[in-house]
Amino acid sequence: MASNLAPVSDTLVPLPETHRSGLIAVATFGFLSFIATSTLFLYLTYKLVRWHVDKSSRRSNEDHHATTTDLSLGLSQAHFGKFQSTTSQNATGEPQSRDGNLNQFLLLVYNLLFAEMHQSLAFLLNSSWVTSDGIFVGTSACWAQGWFISTGDLAASCFISAIAVHTFLIVIKGYRPPQWALYLTIACLWIFVYALGIIGILITQNGQAAGGLYVRAAAWCWMNVRYENLRLWLHYFWIFLSLFLTSGLYILIFFSLRRRGTPHLPSHSRAPSSSTARADASEIGGSRPGFLVYPLIYVLCTAPLALGRIATMSGRDVSVAYFCFAGSMIASNGWLDVLLFSWTRSTIIFTTSPDLGDAGLDTFTFIRTPPTRRYGNMVWVQGASGGSTNRSNDGSRDRRGWWKIGSTRGHHRTDRGSAGWTRRGSSSVSQESLRGAVANEIQLDTVTTVVVEIDSRNKEPAGSVDSTEKGIAPSLRSEL
């Protein structure tokens, strides 16, 4: 069979020094990726198995807690239905719930790790060529390397694109796909990946007429150069499609978050915190390049090899050194993704329960913190709605917002010793800040005041300077 091969596809013994050094680098990065992806994959497997084992006991505990704890305050469900859609979602629109289903993002990462184990194992097999000082076509190692490269590269691209689509739906559309749709998508992706690999074998009868389907392809074993159309339509067309799709979606996410991060506040707002809130929100929305890290790593790792193969298909001569460099890049895809997801989505991968409906997007604090601030993000607290009406001591309603009892500004005593106080002056400044409040901000105004009534007829306490202003109060009234 090997006699039908072109010299560039035949067995190479011994390895040239450049070839050997390049394969050592590729095998080393493949080894790092295989160890990293396998370790995290085994950890997630343990986490998911333990979750399934504890699922029944957890449900029974939650049911018991639900029956013994009543937080409804006697109100009907109609009082809560209006707010369920907002209170059950985080800032990115991802529902925060524990409905007994696996976390969708965690499930996609789990499959991505399995795909990258294929990919890293393929480049790890280059160690066989280094130790034997030759690339031997027709061996099981050569065929296995070609198969794992075909399925691993394609599967990794498919699931990276699936994560991008899922993130786009969560962040931009505020929509979480149903669980059955996610399972069906994952199954279809794996069927698609393996189907393309099997189609290549069936169409060429394992490369019977060309000396083999998986033979030496410049630096290592892959699809025979005589099957250029199969290389394109069974492999690189889908990888380039994934590159454009993933990059485009994350760029849309980035600009969408940047637009959302700039609140539209009215110019007439005079609240002291309005300009600060606008600047802080703009910084958060405008400094979320963390989403661009995903396509950046994917493009940097995948594009060099893909472009090199396209160049050889167009008739250009590409050196072995370039292919070894490109192979080192794509072999690094696994360990770089492990670092990236473990850093940016650590709450989902390591801490939260596997059934918590969260995309983990709030873990981008390493990017969102503005450079001018030493510590993490800020939460602005503003006053309650301006529609509040309050009743003063004389029974009249104060419609100027929440007034502060006992404040030194705007409070004047009419008669020393009496229980009555009149309230004059401007209302609380927190009410003004509400006119420019952003919908996503927390609004809170809690004022606690203790009013002490002094009876000037009491005897002056020992050590007191002024009995009219200092003394022991016979009554204490606290108003909130």
Tens-digit pLDDT profile for residues 328-350: 999 999 999 999 988 888 888 88
Tens of pLDDT, residue by residue over 48-77, are 988 888 776 666 665 555 555 555 555 555
Task: Write down the mean pLDDT value for the chain.
Answer: 73
Query: 399 phi and psi, to 5 degrees?
Result: -100, 20
pLDDT of res. 303: 93
Closest to 246 measured CA to CA, from 285, 179, 306, 297? 297
Task: Identify which has the larger pLDDT, 21 or 78.
Answer: 21
**β-bridge mates for residue 422, sequence order:** 412
Q: How confident is the model at residue 3 (pLDDT cuts 50, 70, 90)?
A: low
Count of beta carbons in the 10 Å neighbourhood of residue 297 = 17
**Residue recorded with tokens 């409040």:** 437
Closest to 204 measured CA to CA, from 189, 217, 191, 215? 215
% of the chain surpassing 90 pLDDT: 42
Tens of pLDDT, residue by residue over 103-141, are 899 999 999 999 999 999 999 999 999 999 999 999 999
pLDDT of res. 74: 52
pLDDT of res. 155: 97
Establish whether the linkage from the previous residue to 461 is cis, with ω within 30° of 0: no
Assess whether pLDDT exceeds 80 at residue 37.
yes
Closest to 149 measured CA to CA, from 342, 353, 305, 352? 305
Half-sphere exposure of 82 (CA within 13 A, CB side): 3
pLDDT of res. 379: 52
Token readout for 220 is 């290592």
**Residue recorded with tokens 């085994």:** 42
**Residue recorded with tokens 């594009």:** 303
**Residue recorded with tokens 């130790």:** 131
d(CA 92, CA 87): 12
Task: Identify which has the larger pLDDT, 286 or 391.
Answer: 391
d(CA 117, CA 129): 20
**Residue recorded with tokens 């009491």:** 458
Token readout for 384 is 């309650």
What string of H, E and C letters represents the secondary structure of the chain?
A: CHHHCCHHHCCECCCCHHHHHHHHHHHHHHHHHHHHHHHHHHHHHHHHHHHHHHHHHHHHHHHHHHHHCCCCCCCCCHHHHCCHHHHCECCCCCECCECCCCCHHHHHHHHHHHHHHHHHHHHHCHHHHHHHCCECCCCHHHHHHHHHHHHHHHHHHHHHHHHHHHHHHHHCCCCCCCHHHHHHHHHHHHHHHHHHHHHHHHHHCCCCCCCCCEEEECCEEEECCCCHHHHHHHHHHHHHHHHHHHHHHHHHHHHHHHHHCCCCCCCCCCCHHHHHHHHHHHHHHHCCCHHHHHHHHHHHHHHHHHHHHHHHHCCCCCCHHHHHHHHHHHHCHHHHHHHHHHHHCHHHHHHCCCCECCCCHHHCHHHHCCCCCCCCCCCCEECCCCCCCEECCCCCEECCCCCCCCCCCCEEECCCCCCCEEECCCCCHHHHHHCCCCCCCEECCCCCEEEEECCCCCCCCCCCCCCCCCCCCCEEEEEC
pLDDT of res. 273: 36
Q: Give the angle subtended at the CA of 415 by the CAs of 410 and 421, to the nearest 5°.
A: 40
Q: Span 433-438, mean pLDDT?
A: 47
Q: How far is CA 31 from CA 35, 91, 298, 303, 329, in A?
A: 6, 39, 19, 21, 13
Q: Using an 8 Å Cβ cutoff, are 432 and 474 in contact?
A: no
* Lowest model confidence (mean pLDDT) among 142-151, 246-255, 372-381: 372-381
Structural domains in the chain plus CATH codes: 2-55+92-368 (1.20.1070.10), 373-480 (no CATH)
* Lowest model confidence (mean pLDDT) among 178-192, 334-348, 364-378: 364-378
Q: Span 410-437, mean pLDDT?
A: 44
Token readout for 182 is 């996610």
* Lowest model confidence (mean pLDDT) among 249-263, 284-298, 465-479: 465-479
* Lowest model confidence (mean pLDDT) among 197-201, 261-265, 444-448: 261-265
Assess whether pLDDT exceeds 50 at residue 477.
no
Tens of pLDDT, residue by residue over 196-240, are 999 999 999 999 888 899 999 989 999 999 999 999 999 999 999
Task: Identify which has the larger pLDDT, 4 or 449.
Answer: 4
d(CA 178, CA 183): 9
pLDDT of res. 457: 57
Assess whether pLDDT exceeds 80 at residue 368.
no
pLDDT of res. 5: 83
Tens of pLDDT, residue by residue over 83-103, are 443 334 444 444 445 556 888
pLDDT of res. 73: 52
pTM, full prediction: 0.66
d(CA 296, CA 250): 10
Task: Identify which has the larger pLDDT, 355 or 429.
Answer: 355
Q: Using an 8 Å Cβ cutoff, are 450 and 405 in contact?
A: no
Question: Using alpha carbons only, how large is the chain's radius of gyration in Å?
Answer: 33
pLDDT of res. 315: 84
- Sorted by sequence, the CB contacts under 8 Å of residue 449 that are 6+ apart come out as 404, 405, 406, 407, 478, 479, 480
Assess whether pLDDT exceeds 60 at residue 242.
yes
